[in-house]
Structure 1
Amino acid sequence: MKVTRFAPSPSGRLHLGHAFSAVLGHAHARASQGKFLLRIEDLDPGRCRPEFVDGIFEDLQWLGLTVDGKPKVQSERTEIYQQALDRLKAAGLVYACFCTRAEIAQSLTAPHGDAGGAYPGTCRPLPDDPERRASTPHCWRLDAEQALAIAGLPHWMEEDGKRFESKRSDFGDAVLARKDAPSSYHLACVVDDADADVSLVVRGEDLRPSTPTQRLLQRLLALPQPTYLHHPLVTHDDGRRLAKRDLAPTLAAMRAEGVDGRLLAAQLLEGQLPLGFRLSQA
């Protein structure tokens, strides 16, 4: 029995790429008499809107996808994320970072900056300063060096049986809690997946680079390890990715044009894309 989840951010209406991911997750759950769960990732208050949450439910119903149980809403789970962060703090595996984006960008373009674009660790050696934290905006970063010394380099399994090994260059001092949000994507994702007993994480191949850090967090927090299915992305015929910010054609627009949602879902499951779209090549 597989437990999968669809975890969209309500920062815009869903598009064909979201539909493809949801259909795959739903199919894997149903084929194994498992569960298909919904999670609303709304930790970014500046971009998320209630009307987009409503749209997620409308689109899933139109596609004929049924959700098991009550959807989890991340903005209602901040205390749970804080507990996980506190465990990492107690283990000395995180540190407060006061750097602004401009300061980080400047340090990376300096003559001896990190050409790879990873955070250079400016705040890592600073002693903890509760007074400064009380008065100055900051985020919390994972001390990757310390974390890897404890947990080692993690691996993970994909649904097709392929084993992926991580390497040291896969890890930076990832943000685990932001200045404007109680948790980052990485921390909330692994905590929520474990809490919901998700056994198969179905998501786009663009998120595969996130997996090493998330597997590391799973080890540090003693959370179960799911299997992963990183699927191809739906793109325009010219290879451009679908994106909300680029006003990609939405499922709502397709519905308004009379497209049959259940038929579309069946076609997506067979890898058949509407005219003008294709799947990315791995």
Structure 2
Amino acid sequence: MASSSPIFRFAPSPNGRLHLGHAYSALMNERLAARLQGEMLLRIEDIDLTRCRPEFEQGILEDLAWLGISFAPEVRRQSLHFDDYRQALGRLEAAGLVYPCFCSRQEIKEAVRQREATTGIPWPRDPDGAPLYPETCRALGEAEMRRRCEAGEPHVLRLAMDRALERRAGESLSYGRFDETGAEHEIAVDPARWGDVVLARKDVPTSYHLSVVVDDALQGVSHVVRGRDLEAATDIHVLLQRLLGLPTPRYHFHQLLSDETGQKLAKSRMSRSLADLRADGMKPDAIRRQLGFT
């Protein structure tokens, strides 16, 4: 998609109803797009075919229409574009940057526990607090990897982080972060702190990391506005953009909303949905005022 004006996108997942945190993010996108005279796109991130459901997507559309947020007519649904992600993954595989991993989460947890018990040293964690993958399957030979894949063993595909970074040796990895005034400054990234991240699964040819960079490029997204919980993951996205020869958007990270206990609003914690608030008689203008978007 080619455009001379900035392009923003709001990209919810239809695995539950939207809550006030989603409303805040959508309204922040709307505010910044208006200030920069940009265009707003809607993307439905539904690669998780087991949890995403049509009724939740319909709920998203209803909630956004109720809030009065307008988007460009075409909606991109990730589940209809798996071939785009396969092609990007294929390029990384051809470059020797991807390998199959047959370890279950429990096996990874046990391997890390054993290493910590043996060395007495805490195993390194990624920015989200999860232990880095101990690279168990990288010791397998090519023939063994191929045999197990052909036998249909469950596996994921991981990025060989050291090889990926070697490929970009000498190149500064960074992105432009912009604030609410449009002012921008450069932020360096450190993908190595994430280790060998998962890029795809046997039954789903992509992950959030891979699909989001492919989608942003194909949709011509120039400005990404999302929560601070995804700020660290931008390390991975910038690296993938460089490896695939894709443009890097500018980024803005907004605050996260919390409930009365101080926990971040989340579908998994059954935070009150916009549909619940609407059923209670709350009006869109009241939502905007409450969130600071008068």
* TM-score (norm: length of structure 1): 0.91
CA distance in 2 between counterparts of 1:191 and 1:265 reads: 32
**Structure 1 letter corresponding to 2:260:** D
Count, aligned residues: 271
SS at match of 1:237: coil
Aligned-pair RMSD on alpha carbons? 1.7
Structure 2: distance between partners of 1:42 and 1:86: 21
Is 1:255 the counterpart of 2:278? The answer is yes
Question: After superposition, where does 1:183-222 map in structure 2 within 5 Å?
Answer: 183-222=206-245
* In structure 1, distance between residues paired with 2:113 and 2:289: 48
Instruction: Name the CA shift for 1:49/1:159 in 2 (closer, same or farther; >3 Å).
Output: same
Amino acid at match of 1:88: L
Q: Take 1:269 and 1:90, find their aligned partners in 2: how far apart are those partners?
A: 48
Q: Which amino acid aligns with 1:43?
A: I
CA distance in 2, matches of 1:248, 1:154: 37
Q: Which of these residues, 33, 43, 51, is aligned with residue 29 of structure 1?
A: 33
- 1:65-84 correspondence to structure 2 within 5 Å: 65-84=69-88
Show the counterpart of 1:163.
Answer: 186
For 2:39 and 2:9, the matched residues in 1 are separated by 8
Distance of 1:96 and 1:139 partners within structure 2: 6
1:131 aligned to 2:142? no
In the alignment, residue 31 of structure 1 is paired with which amino acid?
R
- CA drift at 1:267: 4.6
Q: Which moved more, 1:113-122 or 1:56-65?
A: 113-122
- 2:139 is paired with a residue whose SS is coil
Tell me how far 1:266 sits from its aligned partner.
Answer: 5.1
Q: 1:63 to 1:189 in 2, by over 3 A?
A: same
CA contact (8 A) 1:14 1:251 kept: yes
Aligned-residue offset at 1:125? 3.2
CA contact (8 A) 1:170 1:209 kept: no
What displacement does 1:127 show? 2.7
1:60 maps to amino acid: L
Amino acid at match of 1:192: D
Which one is further off, 172-181 or 56-65? 172-181
Give the corresponding residue for 2:161: 144
- Name the amino acid aligned to 2:123: D
Q: Secondary structure at the match of 2:232?
A: helix
- After superposition, the C-alpha distances for 1:65-107 in whole angstroms (9 at most, x for unaligned) are 0111311001100000000000000000111111111111111
SS at match of 1:189: helix
Greater shift in the superposed pair: 98-107 or 13-22 = 98-107
Report if aligned partners of 2:162, 2:192 keep a CA contact under 8 Å in 1: no
1:118 aligned onto 2:135:
no
Pick aligned residue for 2:21 from 17, 21, 46: 17
The answer to whether structure 1 residue 107 and structure 2 residue 107 are counterparts is no
CA contact (8 A) 1:159 1:227 kept: yes
Structure 1 segments unaligned to the other structure (5+ residues):
273-282
Rounded to whole Å, the distance in 2 between the matches of 1:39 and 1:119 is 30
Partner AA of 1:195 in structure 2: L
Partner of 1:61: 65
Distance of 1:72 and 1:158 partners within structure 2 = 25
What's the counterpart of residue 253 of structure 2?
230
Q: CA–CA distance in 2 between the matches of 1:194 and 1:219?
A: 12
